[in-house]
């Protein structure tokens, strides 16, 4: 605090990590992957009554390349799992994943041969949202929890790994 | 009205195929006729084209797995006559060992995808089908999930997941 007394009024000091994580968590852009009924509740969370814009996440992008939060909202079948993984791979780092609803988290009531029993079998999941489907309040709670998680991150945790594609371009 | 139509269908079939056996039963005012699987295409063509029957709409083609029965699979055709507002169910038990029956796509175009579905789910082979590929499951999948000997939770490792 010693430095601030020497600065003119209106200035404050902070760390770069805190500034970056604050700006990251204040505008999380979700990728809405609505593949069944949870998508309806996700849309309700985006509507005027629940209004996800209050938390800075109203910009639902329909391209994974502009997103940093993947909301998997719905039953993921084995056939769909390749698509979900591809969308996740296309998102730029840093990125987070919400598994919304019972089906996505554990297969839910679809305990059968065609449905993946939990997307954590092929994706790193940050947060599971309970419910079938979860209410929009529950999704907003999940978003706030993710924001708190992002707020605790530090810049050096996201060193860019050289991926096979970029290595080819560099050579 | 229904009785007249039922009699007419059976009479026409027996007239055209005198040496075939037709077993008919009525349940809740719906007629089911069990026919010989070997003649299925000819029988379907008659049902569709006869001026007094006109079953122009093929509503569904599906199959049933009878598990322990000697004739394991039966193929079921749900037909509808728009002209006479009459629904008919035609059943055929597959008798050969390879589990195949002739495709009726030459009679009704709509049977194409129904037969693909029955092939995917139960492994019934439709001969002379123009494009007998799987309908729902991935093409490299080896099993037929609606067969009675297929476990509900599937066979572990038969459907690959992406790398984590």
The confidence score (pLDDT) of residue B96 equals: 77
The confidence score (pLDDT) of residue A1 equals: 57
| Cβ atoms within 10 Å of A67's Cβ, excluding its own | 25
Q: How far is CA B63 from CA B43, B145, B153, in A?
A: 18, 13, 21
pLDDT band at A169 (very low <50, low <70, confident <90, very high): very low
Kindly report the backbone phi and psi dihedral angles of residue B78, in degrees, each rounded to the nearest multiple of 5, phi listed first. -100, 120
The proportion of chain A whose per-residue pLDDT surpasses 70, expressed as a percent, equals 91
Per DSSP, which regions of B48-124 are E strands? Answer: 57-65, 73-81, 86-93, 100-102
**Does the pLDDT of residue A167 top 80, yes or no?**
no
Q: How far is A81 from A99, CA to CA, in rounded Å?
A: 13
Q: How far is CA B52 from CA B18, B30, B106, B108, B149, in A?
A: 19, 18, 21, 18, 43
**Does the pLDDT of residue A115 top 60, yes or no?**
yes
Q: What is residue B105's three-state secondary structure? A: coil
Measured at the CA of B132, the angle between CA B144 and CA A85, to 5 degrees, comes to: 60
Mean pLDDT confidence for B103-112: 90
CB contact under 8 A, A79 and B138: yes
Q: What order of strands is seen across the sheet that includes strand B23-27?
A: B23-27, B30-36, B86-93, B73-81, B57-65
CB contact under 8 A, B152 and A121: no
Decide if B99 contacts B73 (C-beta within 8 A).
Answer: yes
CB contact under 8 A, B151 and A78: no
Complex ipTM over 0.85:
no
Q: What is the pLDDT of residues B60-97, one digit of tens each?
A: 999 999 888 888 899 999 999 898 888 999 999 988 77
Which residue of chain B comes nearest to A118, CA vs CA? B161
The confidence score (pLDDT) of residue A135 equals: 92
């Amino acid at each position: 605090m010693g430095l601030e007394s020497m600065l003119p009024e209106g200035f404050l000091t902070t760390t770069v990590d805190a500034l970056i994580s604050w700006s990251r968590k204040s505008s999380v852009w979700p990728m809405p992957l609505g593949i069944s009924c949870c998508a309806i509740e996700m849309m309700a969370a985006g509507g005027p009554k629940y209004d996800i814009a209050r938390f800075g996440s109203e910009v639902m992008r329909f391209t994974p390349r502009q997103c940093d939060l993947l909301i998997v909202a719905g039953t993921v079948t084995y056939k769909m799992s390749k698509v979900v993984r591809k969308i996740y791979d296309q998102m730029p780092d840093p990125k987070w994943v919400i598994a919304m609803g019972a089906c996505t988290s554990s297969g839910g009531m679809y305990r059968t041969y065609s449905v993946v029993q939990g997307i954590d079998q092929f994706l790193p999941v940050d947060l599971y949202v309970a419910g079938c489907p979860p209410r929009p309040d529950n999704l907003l709670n999940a978003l706030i929890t993710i924001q708190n998680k992002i707020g605790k991150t530090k810049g050096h945790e996201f060193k860019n790994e050289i991926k096979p594609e970029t290595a080819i371009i560099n050579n | 009205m229904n009785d007249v139509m039922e009699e007419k269908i059976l009479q026409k079939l027996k007239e055209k195929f005198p040496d075939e056996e037709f077993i008919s039963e009525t349940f809740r005012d719906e007629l089911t006729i069990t026919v010989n699987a070997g003649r299925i295409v000819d029988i379907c063509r008659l049902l569709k084209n006869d001026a007094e029957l006109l079953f122009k709409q093929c509503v569904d083609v599906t199959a049933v797995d009878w598990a322990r029965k000697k004739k394991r699979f039966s193929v079921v055709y749900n037909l509808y006559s728009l002209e006479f507002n009459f629904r008919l169910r035609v059943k055929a038990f597959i008798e050969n060992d390879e589990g195949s029956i002739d495709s009726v796509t030459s009679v009704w175009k709509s049977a194409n995808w129904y037969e693909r579905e029955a092939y995917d789910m139960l492994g019934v082979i439709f001969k002379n089908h123009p494009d007998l590929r799987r309908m729902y499951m991935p093409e490299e999948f080896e099993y037929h999930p609606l067969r009675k000997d297929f476990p509900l939770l599937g066979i572990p490792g038969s459907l690959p997941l992406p790398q984590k």
